[in-house]
Amino acid sequence: MFSISEIKSLTKAVVLQGTLKGRFKRITINSKEVCPGDLFIAIKGGRFDGHRFISEAIKKGAVACLVSSKGVKAPKRAVLFYVPDTEKALGFIARGYRQRFDIPVIAITGSAGKTTTKDMVASVLSARYSVLSNLGSQNNQIGVPLTLLKLTKKIDVAVIEMGTNQPGDIKWLTSIALPDMSILTNIGASHLAKLKSKPAVFREKLNLVKGLAAKGTVIFNRDDPFLVKIPLLVKGRSFISYGVKSRAKFQARHIILQANRSLQFSVDNKKYVLSSPVQANVYNALSAIICGRLFSISFNNIYKKIKKASIPKGRQQIKKVGRIWLIDDTYNANPVSFRSALNTLSDFKACGRRILVCSDMKELGASSHLWHKTIGRDIGKSNIDYVLAWGKAAKHIVSAARPKKDKGQVYHFEKRFELHKKVRSLCRDHDVILVKGSHSMQMGKTVDFILKHFKK
């Protein structure tokens, strides 16, 4: 994959020991996955430090290690490189490797819907091409470079999801992936702890468009009040809009919910079926349809891939559990995805009651309580019958929803087991339960509880 001298050149590394002779078969940041001939990059993270596993990596056959500490000790048989920041160095290496491949790279970003869009686009393109895409949501400064390092001569197109939680992330990832096509899903109140405001989120996401290759293609959601401004702010690009409410180049019309299981809609007088009742997924499907058309995928193949598209785990997955319905939206939460989930619950045709089980939305900064109250007011105006919440911030959801609901419809709990106890006593046959909360709130445990106690 690389010679030792290439690594030194790409990363501007200092060689602490060893020579510049030899090559690497592979690059890894996980000492458990090291194979003979690998380069091991020691990454410092919030919960781990790869420098602790350098000896283990060399014992397993790593011929070199890239470190950010000059005090590291390692067996003399291994080459030792030093750089101030190994995470940045990983990005430099991935960019150098990506430049070897003259293939289209599609980059996807937005406040919500990135992973589902990425999976749908990759699925549609796979009807004709060999596609590389991020596994799951490996969309950060580590996941994107590691994905690009999987490129081979057999790959025809790469579909890369890009996430951010601080200013500069998207600019950096764009400089690594060097995309010539971008998809922007929406702009919302996400990661405000560091991004501060929705306009700042937009400015951050806009860096993807600014960093595109010359005459690159921008696919954007015209229903979004921020994204609609893109053609006015960035020149020298080709723009393709999609939407549901606004008049767009690719507009979904005649959207019909079918038996709580699927959605039928039409684009350019051609009908599509999406095996999900979630309206937000129509936007994701539109991006995939556009990419299919741009890459000359036949209508029949686009139709089949859209219909068979699987929804990633924890993203409004709908399951029948015994005699109740469960909407599992526990992967993460911000105001954009929360509203989408509320719409799904509100639209769900149920013989029983609509029950929201929720917890905190994280990373919303100083305005967190305001965003939780906004969601609470939305719930208060909705047809949702019961709200069961736990978490410090979720108190604001409850306080804002309570004035619009009857006594006994809205509850807040201090402990998870109290929440579970109420879920078990309240729910009955034919009810539909939405479980929603940020990833760190581990609402997947509540989903597991429901699966266990209502399966029969």
Q: Please state, in angstroms and rounded to a whole number, the distance separating the CA atoms of residues 200 and 108.
A: 18
Q: What separation in angstroms does the CA of 215 have from each of 99, 176, 222, 236, 239? A: 18, 18, 20, 6, 10
Which homologous superfamily is 317-454 in? Answer: Mur ligase, C-terminal domain (3.90.190.20)
Average of per-residue pLDDT values in the chain: 94
pLDDT at 173 over 80: yes
To the question of pTM greater than 0.75 for the whole model, the response is: yes
Average pLDDT over residues 401-415: 92
Longest dimension (CA), the chain: 75
| Structure confidence at residue 364 as a pLDDT band (50, 70, 90) | very high
The count of other CB atoms within 10 Å of the CB of residue 270 is 11
Question: What's the pLDDT at 1?
Answer: 77
pLDDT in tens, 331-347: 999 999 999 999 999 99
The per-residue pLDDT for 387 is 97
Which residue from 316, 237, 251, 246 is spatially nearest to 289, judged by alpha carbons?
A: 251
Tell me which fold the domain 101-308 belongs to: UDP-N-acetylmuramoyl-L-alanine:D-glutamate ligase (3.40.1190)
Q: Domain segments of the chain: what residues?
A: 2-85, 101-308, 317-454
Instruction: Let me know: does 313 contact 331? Beta carbons within 8 Å.
Output: yes
pLDDT of residue 285: 97
Residue 46 has pLDDT above 80, yes or no: no
Superfamily of domain 2-85: MurE/MurF, N-terminal domain (3.40.1390.10)
Say what percent of the chain tops pLDDT 70: 100
pLDDT at 259: 83
pLDDT value at 279 more than 80: yes
Which residues lie below 8 Å from residue 181, measured CB to CB, with a gap of 6+? 104, 105, 106, 107, 212, 216, 217, 218, 219, 291, 294
Residues found in the chain: 456
Q: Is the model's pLDDT at 261 over the cut of 90?
A: no
pLDDT band at 47 (very low <50, low <70, confident <90, very high): confident
Q: Which two tokens stand for residue 265?
A: 């809609």
Q: Is residue 351 within 8 Å of residue 361, measured between CB atoms?
A: no
Residues 6 or more apart from 163 whose CB is under 8 A from it?
109, 114, 137, 139, 140, 169
pLDDT digits (tens, 9 = 90+) for 128-171: 999 999 998 799 999 999 999 999 999 999 999 999 989 999 99
The predicted pLDDT at position 311 comes to 85
243 band by pLDDT with thresholds 50, 70 and 90: very high
205: left (phi over 0), alpha (psi -120 to 50) or beta: alpha
- Which pLDDT does position 10 carry in this prediction? 94
Rounded Cα distance between 103 and 70, Å, is: 38
Report the pLDDT value the prediction gives residue 4, as an integer from 0 to 100: 87
